[in-house]
Amino acid sequence: MNMDISQKKEIELNNPDYFINRELSFLEFNRRVLAQARDKKTPLLERLFFICIASSNMDEFFEIRVSGLKQQVAYGSTQRGPDNLSPSEQLELINKAAHRLQNSQYKILNDEVLPALANEDVHFLHHDRWNRTQSIWIKKYFNRELLPVLSPVGLDPAHPFPKVLNKSLNFIITLEGKDAFGRNTGIAIVQAPRALPRLIQLPSSCASHKYDFVFLSSIIHKHAADLFPGMTVTGCYEFRATRNSDLFVSEEEAGDLMRALEGELPSRRFAEVVRLEVTNRCPQEIIDFLMHKFTLQPADVYPVDGPVNLNRMMAIPNIVDLPELQFPTFTPALQKRLIRSENIFDTIKKGDVFLHHPFQSFTPVVDFLRQASADPNVLAIKQTLYRTGDDSSIVEALIAAAHAGKEVTVVIELRARFDEEENIELANELQNAGVHVSYGVVGHKTHAKMILVIRREGRQLKRYVHLGTGNYHAKTARLYTDLGMLSSDTAITDDVQKVFQQLTALGKAGKLKKILQAPFTLHKSMMEFIQIETENALKGETARIIAKMNSLVEPEIIKALYRASQAGVKIDLIVRGICCLRPGIKGVSDNIQVRSIIGRFLEHSRIFYFYNAGDIQLFGSSADWMDRNFFRRIETCFPIEDKRMKKKVVKECLLNYLSDNTQSWILHADGSYKKSILAGSKAKSAQQSLLKNYTE
């Protein structure tokens, strides 16, 4: 009888109404990002930055997610996810939501942010607002800097419609008259080279304000006639095509993954177009012409009221010297243990070191590698790299270690999306320095964040590790919240060495003692921990789950959380981005609350808490609760066992965020998010409180 009830509940939990669509959840996330630009409490230049972030997010969404759905439709796929929406149904809903989002984005820019910037003497001048002095300077600039590098293409049988680069700035120009050869089809295309700046600051000699900028598009629009001497320009309209950018490499058939990726990368520039952005001044017949050339439908066209690429405005906060319009600068804190220590290995031996970025400095991670590279007792260094950024101190330390004669092994994930080219260059640079480079395991991205240092101490070899939730990227370590741990715990270091054996060699590396690893034990262990809380709740005992992550998608985990909620487990989920779980469903998820924190820093840490009848289990992880992280990636999830640090992490990274009432958005059963309400309470920002505590 009990089995029948259990089966009935399982069938009920497969109800599509209990699952939020992944793509629509992402668009809800981007709406929350855009809300930061609308919030007048956000510093003005940061509001502009959030608009640019929202624009960049949408680019990637169309390049990867929308393009994938379009491919499914083209192939006739009827595959449905837990929400039971077909690819075509998803595209229809996405188009409606994405158009609303874009309209909102440009409305905030034009009606709120740009006028507010003008009040601060930062102006973006349309070509009909240039005075005579400015017009003369811009004309000279056009002749000197732009005219020599622009290559207009008049469309005729000898000049077909050109291949426009992914996300590049282009102009379609209508013409009257005939050229020297008697030709005129009435249409030409001008492509703006990537090397040209999209924003040009006017010099003080002709500026009317402290900061005057003109868009490249305005200059080309104004001087388009100079590109077609003897002809009449009747219209000039900017457009931008977004292409499918999901690389396909058959790893089983590729003999050399790096060469296969190098061969595939150029296709990203000219793959199938999935979105057309065009100025809202463009006549319908021109839009129809472009739709035909790109094989698009009306829903794929996004008219814009402003620049077609807002991402280029991201440079403005770095150009204008107005610090009062930005978030206050801060210096990340450094632990006293590390300040007093001359030898980081001696410090780690005395106890695990936990780092909470960006509130605490990323420098100890770099120092860990630098000291290892210079220490004559260090024999070997192993590390995973996913994203590093330019001029990486981490990479410099690894090269220095190799030059010092140490055995250095680096596992580089070549397929880190949109960083593939940089990672190929990085792999070559490291190999040239004598570093042993591998690319992980075929069919699985290496997403784990690990460093292993092997050091001779007397007659023994001692191992030290760093494990983290974020990439080894010094710049993002100041922008993303992440957790890191330096440890010499024998079981932990032994586990890390076994994982590296898996990544660089063949054969089974053996069972891990403490670390949970995807794709082997992580999903199973999370299910077991949730089940333990469920059983304890059914016995009338205290049961509690708190989980912080970027995304929650995997359906079996969601159903396990539903069962836990039904049993009475109190569940708090802090999910920054995509969340497919639907909280607040009576009898299913009424014990689950989901919140998203959107603020100055990108919430990136993954932390999992299980009450476990008072013997709290706490983990930091490189993995979100998504199918790809559980089953198609190499991930590590490490226990936090030191009692003092466990208490600190729970307080700072979990309870602190659950009490946030200024940057917290609460997910409702209908899939919408509402900003948390103060309701007479004292304002509390989790990020600001951590900044204050650490910087003071």
- Asked if the peptide bond before residue 358 counts as cis, ω within 30 degrees of 0, the response is yes
User: How far apart, in Å, are the Cα atoms of 690 and each of 323, 609, 653?
Assistant: 21, 20, 9
Q: Write down the catalytic residue from 444, 447, 466, 523.
A: 447
Does residue 162 have a cis bond before it (omega within 30 degrees)? no
On the 0-12 / 13-18 / 19+ scale of CB atoms within 10 A, 391 is exposed
**What is the rounded CA–CA span in Å between residue 552 and residue 626?**
6
For 177-331, strand residue ranges (E) read: 187-191, 199-201, 211-215, 232-243, 273-279, 301-304
Q: How many Å separate Cα 163 from the centre of its chain? A: 28
Q: Cβ of 683: how many Cβ atoms within 10 Å? A: 11
Enter the DSSP assignment of 404. T
Q: E strands, 553-632, where?
A: 570-575, 592-597, 602-603, 606-610, 617-621
Q: Quick check: 666 and 676 in contact, CB under 8 A?
A: yes
What φ, ψ does residue 28 adopt, rounded to 5°?
-65, -40
**Identity of residue 403:** H
In the numeric block, the tokens 């948390």 are attached to 676
> Could you give the CA distance from residue 299 to residue 95 in angstroms, rounded to a whole number?
6
CB 243 within 8 A of CB 172: no
Rg of the chain in Å (alpha carbons): 28
Match 């739709």 to its residue by tokens.
291
Strands (E), 54-186: 122-124, 153-154, 170-176
Q: What angle do CA 127, 133, 136 make, to 5 degrees?
A: 70
Dist. CA 143–CA 192, nearest whole Å: 15
Residue 667: beta bridge partners? 673
Structure tokens given for 284: 């319908």
d(CA 215, CA 200): 6
Contact 208, 123 (CB under 8 A): yes
Asked if 158 and 189 count as a contact pair (C-beta separation under 8 A), the reply is: no
Decide if 401 contacts 369 (C-beta within 8 A): yes
Query: 668 an active-site residue?
Result: no
Q: How far is it, in rounded angstroms, from Cα 639 to Cα 516?
A: 8
Please calculate the CA angle 555-558-561 and round it to the nearest 5 degrees: 155
- Is residue 282 within 8 A of residue 239, CB to CB? The reply is yes
Q: Are 264 and 247 in contact (CB under 8 A)?
A: yes
* Residues designated catalytic: 447
